[in-house]
Amino acid sequence: MKRFVLLFLWAIALVGIVPALPATAHKPSDSYLSMNIERAHIGGQWDIALRDLDYGIGLDDNDDGAITWGELRARRRAIEAYALSRLQVRADGKACPLQPVNLLVDNHTDGTYAVLRFAGNCPRPVTAVELKYQLFFDLDPQHRGLLNLRTGGQTQTAIFSPAQASQRLTLTSHPIAQFLDFVREGVWHIWLGYDHILFLLTLLLPAVLTRKGGHWQGASSLRQIFANVLKVVTAFTLAHSLTLSLATLGVVQLPSRLVESAIAISVVFAALNNLYPLVQRRRWLIAFCFGLIHGFGFAGVLADLGLPRAALLLALVGFNLGVEAGQMAIVAAFLPVAFVLRDSWLYRRLTFAGGSALIAAIACIWFAERLFDFKVLAF
């Protein structure tokens, strides 16, 4: 146990060097679209990551790895045309053309964003708005557009994805519809978050085994297996719920780069612990300690959305429940198969040992990518 505590502290110290390096991040691609509708007038602001725009239309003219204000300003027209051509607004069946107003820059938790301000007018006062969002969907299927729509002192939210590129919002949308949007997004966030999935799998792999005399054997007690899985899942849930809440409410915030690098290390340690066990009986402790870090990763999306307090609480609860549902679906799919195969060579040698080694190798590459800002893996 002492060795694990020392390793955990060493991991925290190691990732502590990350903020000293040039600021970049590995957070999934999101843009933040804020719109204010008063009668027939639309005012808006669209925060789009410079790294995503650079990938889409090219901003770094001299290829020095840094995008200056001069380079951004030189591409202003291209940015405005590229972004606004991928956002269509209609009200009551009529188009509401959008025009650029200004281009600024701002810093989010995961890097620098271009801030495109725009305005538009609809033919008549708006009672319902139809939005078609297509930014970066052709380049990155995991991209999400997070909408914050204000009208008449009320706020509602929506999330755009390739599967939900077009949405119709009445200006008196029911909070339950927004809540369900964030539940759905929480499910997809963990299913598409490969580092979260691999961390969870590394904790589940030994759940159907016991270690005797330095060797892994199939566990005989189904009751004990369920008890171990319940401890691990509960510890992970409590930990990431705690930090997800603290980060989303703005109590504690950490740089995205620090968080994403620490998440990669957590996967490495969990996988290596399967191969060279330091913690055998209290794997829930690994789940809890590193689950704290994963919670900060889950919070990145909501923290940057800039929601008012009431909408933030609704989004927090819905998103967290979605994460839990996605997590339990993974457990339900994995555990029965692992239990049936637990005594076989296929499971103990190939799945458990080989899988843990492969996961550790993948996570090492993720850590290097996030630390030194390069890309090797496509996921």
What is the 3-class SS of 22-43, one letter each residue?
Answer: CCCCCCCCEEEEEEEEECCEEE
Q: Give dist(CA 53, CA 49) in Å, integer.
A: 6
Amino acid identity of residue 47, one-letter, is D
Q: Buried b / exposed e across 81-92, counting CB within 10 Å, b at 16+? A: ebbbebbbbbbe
In this prediction, residue 14 has a pLDDT band, given cuts at 50, 70 and 90, of very low
What pLDDT was estimated at residue 256? 78
Q: Which of 25-34, 301-310, 334-343 has the lowest mean pLDDT?
A: 301-310
307 confidence band (pLDDT: 50, 70, 90): low
Cβ contact 229:204 at 8 Å: yes
Q: What is the pLDDT of residue 173?
A: 61
pTM: 0.67
Tell me, what's the pLDDT at 24?
42
Enumerate the β-bridge partners of residue 145: 31, 160
φ, ψ of residue 157 to 5 degrees: the values are: -125, 160
Q: Is the pLDDT of residue 31 over 60?
A: yes
> Residues 283-310: what's their mean pLDDT?
77
DSSP-based three-state secondary structure for 243: helix
Distance CA 248, CA 361 (A): 31
- 182-215 pLDDT, tens digit per residue, is 888 788 878 878 888 999 999 999 999 988 888 8
pLDDT for res 20: 43
Q: Name the residue type at position 61.
A: D
Contact indicator for 202, 335 with CB cutoff of 8 Å: no
Name which of 241, 55, 32 is nearest 136 in CA terms.
55
Mean pLDDT on 337-349: 92
Angstrom CA distances, 341 to 219, 331, 349, 359, stand at 11, 15, 11, 20
CA 254-305-262 angle, 5° bins:
25
Is the pLDDT reported for residue 334 higher than 80?
A: yes
β-strand pairing of 87-91 with 94-95:
antiparallel
* CA-wise closest residue to 186 among 333, 326, 302: 326
- Higher local confidence (pLDDT), 344 or 245: 344
Distance between CA atoms of 184 and 306, rounded to whole angstroms? 20
Percent of the chain whose pLDDT exceeds 70: 88
Kindly tell me if the per-residue pLDDT of 288 is higher than 80: yes
In the predicted structure, residue 230 carries a pLDDT above the cut 70? yes
**What is the chain's mean pLDDT, rounded?**
84
- 41-80 pLDDT, tens digit per residue, is 999 999 999 989 998 999 988 888 888 989 999 999 999 9
